[in-house]
């Protein structure tokens, strides 16, 4: 799980310049989100990475999921 979190955060931090506090908050939210997905049965690290990055981008408003074609998981 730690590798997934690190991969998502590295990619997310490359997309925009964020403060350390904003990055820490995003990491905390990401950990909770990924825990929910794994509790629901998702185990594929690649899928968790994509879902985590999509979640963070939706959270900060940098992606419109409908326009991007994401209508649900």
Per-residue pLDDT of the chain (73 residues; tens, 9 = 90+): 999 999 999 999 998 888 999 999 999 999 999 999 999 999 999 999 999 999 999 888 776 666 666 665 5
Q: Is residue 59 part of a domain?
A: yes
Q: How far is residue 44's CA from residue 26's CA, in Å, rounded to a whole number?
A: 21
Number of domains in the chain: 1
In a domain, residue 27? The reply is yes
Residue 73 lies in a domain: no
């Amino acid at each position: 799980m730690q590798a997934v979190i690190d991969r998502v955060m590295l990619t997310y931090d490359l997309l925009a310049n964020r403060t350390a506090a904003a990055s820490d908050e995003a990491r905390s939210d990401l950990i909770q989100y990924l825990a929910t997905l794994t509790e629901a049965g998702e185990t594929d690290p690649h899928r968790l990475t994509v879902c985590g990055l999509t979640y963070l981008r939706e959270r900060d408003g940098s992606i419109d999921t409908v326009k991007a074609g994401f209508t649900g998981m």
